[in-house]
Structure 1
C-alpha cells in the first residue's frame, strides 16, 4: 500500500497496527484482526495468535464467533421478506407465532408473575426489529428474571439446549415486562425474528440466511457451523478472569462441536454465527451501498434507510445508555447520534458489537467500514479500550 489508500494515510494506519500490537503484547487480547475499508481500498492487520500461548498466527481469514453481530443480518433477512410482502412491518406476529398472539403484561416490571393485565395491542414485526416487543434482557433481580432463567431463556453466548419451537413456547408462557411498543429491551426480539422467518418461509432460519444473504454476497466462511476442513481457522474463545481481567479459555457446550449445527440457530447471536473480517465486510458494504452488491440487490435503498434510522424516543433510550451510549436503535443495529462529540464515533454511523469480542460499523458520511475481531469476550456491554483506540485511529487516518 502506498502513502494513501482510499483517502487513508498509510503512516497513520501504521499507528493503528502499533496500538493493536501493544494490546496483544500486554495480554489484553490474545489476537486481533482489524479491517478498515474506505472508497474501495481495504487495510487489514492480523496480529497475535489463534490461541493464547499457541503457535498458529492470527490470519486475515481467521474465523470468529460473531455473537450479537448476527442481529443486523437477522434484520436484513426480515426486511427481505417485508419487501416480498410475506411479512408486513405493522402486522401482528400472532398468525405465525400463536405463542405470542395474546400476551399478558406485568402490571409492574418487578411485580409477581400473576399480577398481569392484557396487552393493549398485538406484537408486530416492527416491535421485534426495534426491540420493543415488551420482552428482553432483565438486569435487576425480579420474579420475571428468575422465571426466564428457570425456563432456559436467559441471554448468553451459547443459546438454549432446545429448539426454536420449544423456545418460543416457553417465551410465550411468561408475561411481557412492558406493553408492546413502549420500551426498548435488548436481544430477545432478534431471536423471535429468527423463529418468525423460519415459519414464514417454511424452512430453517440458517438455510434462508445462506441462500438469500451469504451466497449472493460471497460470504463463504459464514454460517452456524463449519466443515471439518475449516475448524483449524476458528479462533479460541476467552472470557476475562474475575478480578484480574486476564483472558481465560471460555468453556461452553458448543466448544469442540462447531462442525455440527446448533440446536437453536439464534437470530440474536446466542449459539453464534461464525464469520471472517472479509465476509462481514461484504455484508457491511452492501448496507453502505444502500442494499446493492456487485451481483444486484439484497434490499432496496428505502429499506436500508429505514433500517439505519433511529426509531427510539428519548424516553425509550433513557436507562439504556450502557448499551446505546448517546445513540439510538434502528432495525437490529445501533445508529450513532449526530454530533456525538467523540473522535472514536462518526455521527450517523451504524453497526453493532458482539459480546464475544467483535465489532463492525459502517459510516456513510466517510464511506468507511471498520471491523475489529478479537476472541476475548466483553466483561460489560461497553467494549474495552482497544475498540475505542481502533476507531480513534481509523478516523485519525482519514487523509482528505
Structure 2
C-alpha cells in the first residue's frame, strides 16, 4: 500500500482529467520503491459512451443527501461503460470524528466483496485442472467427510441425520452446501455457530484450517444442493484454494489475481503507515445519526489469524474497479488474462436447480442481494428476471456486495459496471444498491 493525497468534497466526471486507469506512482518514502498502482480517473465524456451527463448528476445529488442528513458518513462511486470510466465522484467524510474527507485513495473494508475474488481463484484452479466443480470438499479438507444434517431439536440437543450427498466444490461456490453464519439468528445451527465463537469472526488464535474443521463438526442446515443459505462457504472455498494450490490464500491472491490486475492496495490488513487512509466503520444510531463501530473496525488493522476468503479484504475504489473491468472484459484486463471468457460466462449463469431464484430456493435471511428475480452463479448473484425484482437492470447482470454497504455490479447487456464504496453496517439498512442501479440505468440514452 502507499500514501496519496486527494481532493476533499464532491468530485464529478466533469472535474476529472482523462487518463489511463493504472499509472506508475511512487510509494511513500518509507518504502523507497516504485510500483504499479491503480489510479482511477475519468476516461470518457458521458456522451461518448451513451450517458446523458445531466442525468448522471442525479447519482451524486441522490447520495449526497445520504450524507447531508446523517445516514452515511461518506462514499465513492465509479461508473464505467465499454471499459471507460464515465463518472467518478467522492463525497463526505471517511472519518467523521477526525473530520477527514473521502479521497481517491481511501481504504474501505469490502467484507463479502472478497467472495467474488476468492471464487475467481477457485475457477482459475478449475481451469488448470487442479480441482473439479464436482469434487467432494473432503478431498481437500478431510473433516468434511461423513457430515451430519440438522433435522430437529434445539442448539443444545439437535437431532441429526447423515448427509446423503457430499458437500462439493460447486456447493461452496453457490452457497448450497448447508453451511451458515452465526449472525443470522434464524436457526438453531446459527446458535451453535455463535456458541463456538463464530458470529462476526472466529475464536482468537484459530486459523483457516482449524476453523473449517470446526464448521465441519457442526450440523448442516439442509442436505447439500437442496437449498440456498448465505454462509461461510466461501471461507471454506478459500481453504480449498490453499490445499489445491499449495499456497496460503493471501499469497495465491497476491500472485495470481491482485498483482496481475494492479490491485496493490487490496490486502487482508492495513499496515500502520496507511491507517490514516482507512475509513471509519459506522452503524445507524437509533436516535439519529451514526455510531462508530470500534470493535469490528479494528480487526483489519492487524494481520488476521484467519485468512477469510469470504470477508477479509480491504480495498480502494480504484482497485475494485480494476476487478470489475476484468470481469466485464471476459476474464482479461490490460493483457492479463485470469479466466477464459467461456469460464466466466458459465460462472455468471444461474446455477440454482430449475433456474429458480433466491426467493424460491433461498432461506428468508439477510444476504448481500435481493431475492426476487435473482439467482446465483459460481460466486456471484445473477439477475434472471428484472421484472420480478422490480429493479431497473438487465437479465444476466451479476454482482455482490459487502456487510458495510459496499457493492458492485456488472451489466453485460449494457456493458456497464458500477462500484459503490461506503462504511455502514449492516448493508440492509438502506436500499442503496437498487437505487444505484436505477440511477445509472436512467442516465443511459443511446
Q: Which runs of 4+ in 1 moved over 6 A?
A: 109-112
Q: Distance in 1 between matches of 2:67 and 2:180?
A: 34
2:170 corresponds to: 126
After superposition, give the CA deviation of every residue in 1:23-63 in whole Å (9 maximum; x if it has no partner).
11111101010111112331111000111243321112211
Q: 1:181 to 1:33 in 2, by over 3 A?
A: same
Q: Distance in 2 between matches of 1:375 and 1:72?
A: 19
After superposition, give the CA deviation of every residue in 1:198-238 in whole Å (9 maximum; x if it has no partner).
12222211111111110011111101112333221111111
Structure 2 counterpart of 1:349, from 387, 397, 404: 397
After superposition, give the CA deviation of every residue in 1:113-137 in whole Å (9 maximum; x if it has no partner).
5522221121111111111111113
**In the alignment, does 2:198 pair up with 1:153?**
yes
**In the alignment, does 2:383 pair up with 1:336?**
yes
2:102 corresponds to: 58
Q: How many angstroms does 1:290 deviate by?
A: 1.2
1:4 corresponds to: 47
Q: Distance in 2 between matches of 1:227 and 1:263?
A: 15
Q: 1:191 to 1:31 in 2, by over 3 A?
A: same
**In the alignment, does 2:71 pair up with 1:23?**
no
- RMSD between aligned residues: 2.2
Q: Report which stretch shifted further, 313-322 or 275-284.
A: 313-322
> Is the partner of 2:346 in helix, strand or coil?
helix
Q: Distance in 2 between matches of 1:105 and 1:213?
A: 35
Contact 1:343 1:392 in 2 (8 A): yes
Contact 1:3 1:11 in 2 (8 A): no
1:367 corresponds to: 415
Q: How many angstroms does 1:20 deviate by?
A: 1.8
Q: Distance in 2 between matches of 1:32 and 1:8?
A: 22
Contact 1:127 1:133 in 2 (8 A): yes
2:10 corresponds to: none
2:337 corresponds to: 297
User: Which structure 2 residue ranges, 5 or more long, are not aligned?
Assistant: 1-13, 15-44
User: Which structure 1 residue ranges, 5 or more long, are not aligned?
Assistant: none
2:137 corresponds to: 93
Q: Distance in 2 between matches of 1:48 and 1:182?
A: 44
Q: 1:39 to 1:175 in 2, by over 3 A?
A: same
**In the alignment, does 2:70 pair up with 1:44?**
no
Q: How many angstroms does 1:292 deviate by?
A: 1.4
Q: 1:254 to 1:396 in 2, by over 3 A?
A: closer
Q: How many angstroms does 1:367 deviate by?
A: 0.6
Q: Distance in 2 between matches of 1:388 and 1:367?
A: 18
2:31 corresponds to: none
1:115 corresponds to: 159
After superposition, give the CA deviation of every residue in 1:369-393 in whole Å (9 maximum; x if it has no partner).
011111111263xx61343332221
How many residues are aligned here? Answer: 392
1:209 corresponds to: 253
1:288 corresponds to: 328
**In the alignment, does 2:421 pair up with 1:377?**
no
1:265 corresponds to: 307
2:445 corresponds to: 399
**In the alignment, does 2:146 pair up with 1:102?**
yes
